[in-house]
Amino acid sequence: MSRIFRMSVASVYVHYVAKAERKGHTKDEVDEVTRWLTGFSPAELEAHLADGTTFEDFFAAANLNPNAPLITGVICGIRVQEIDDPLMQKIRYLDLLVEEVARGKKMASILRS
């Protein structure tokens, strides 16, 4: 099992927000893409972050957006659509969405709408 599966989402989330903010974007945008991917309400997302939920439990509780398979691209040198492990693929989907926020991609495009 990958070490990241047992890491808390909150421990990585702070880096997601910092990355977006460094590039002139906001925590709200990171929250929006995270909620879009997971189906969590704002309160549910905040509860998972406050409780230190692991990535494994976070995505087990999520109702993954049906358009998530439309997320394609390369993150950390790996094409997300070619990742075999379902949990790792979901984590990389989130990584890629945050990367797209940081790069200033339009939200409608990021949310595959």
Question: How many independent structural domains does the chain possess?
Answer: 1
Can you give the residue range of the structural domain that contains 42? 3-107
Task: Tell whether 86 is covered by a domain.
Answer: yes
CATH number at residue 61: 1.10.8.290
Higher confidence at residue 113 or residue 21? 21
- pLDDT of 25 over the 80 cut: yes
Task: Tell whether 113 is covered by a domain.
Answer: no
Model pLDDT for residues 50-101, shown as the tens digit of each residue: 999 999 999 999 999 999 999 999 988 999 999 999 999 999 999 999 999 9
What share of the chain in percent tops pLDDT 90?
A: 91
Spatial distance between the Cα atoms of 51 and 45, rounded to a whole number of angstroms: 10
Task: Tell whether 74 is covered by a domain.
Answer: yes
- pLDDT of 1 over the 70 cut: no
Task: Tell whether 64 is covered by a domain.
Answer: yes
Task: Tell whether 76 is covered by a domain.
Answer: yes
Spatial distance between the Cα atoms of 99 and 38, rounded to a whole number of angstroms: 17
